[in-house]
Amino acid sequence: MKKTVSIIVMAVLMMVSIVALSRTAQADEGKMVGTISKLEMSADKKTATVVLKDSKSGEDVTIIITDDLTLDKFNDKRIVEGDEIRCKFEKEGGKNSSKMFKKTAGC
């Protein structure tokens, strides 16, 4: 009886692990260098939607930004349309959420 219970518990644990891992795998990561072709702040200024034109492929990639530091840079125009950006993002639920959003320029 004890052995049967152990096997069932192990099987359940394995299934839970597989489901959890597959969920993690769904959050795919991307990175790119691109130029901002469109920048829109939400009304409450807590989110921004940015379209980056990929320097490599020329394709437009839409990125959602929610971190305060970057949003502040949009607010006072330290980052504006036309700036080149190095971006890391997570693809989840059909959206690309920014994980790193930095201007390539420096001195």
The number of CA neighbours under 13 Å toward the Cβ of 32 is: 24
Task: Convert residues 38-77 into a mask of x (bound to another protein by CB under 8 A) and - (unbound).
Answer: ----------------xxx------------x--x---xx
31 binds another protein (CB under 8 A): no
Q: Which of 5, 25, 43, 107: binder of another protein (CB under 8 A)?
A: 107
**Which alpha helices (H) appear in the chain, and where do they start and end?**
2-26, 68-75
99 binds another protein (CB under 8 A): no
Cα separation, 70 vs 9, whole angstroms: 46
Residue 102, CA distances (Å) to 3, 21, 40 in order: 55, 30, 17
Residues 10-29 within binding reach of another protein (CB under 8 A) = none
Nearest distance from residue 70's CB to another protein, in Å? 11
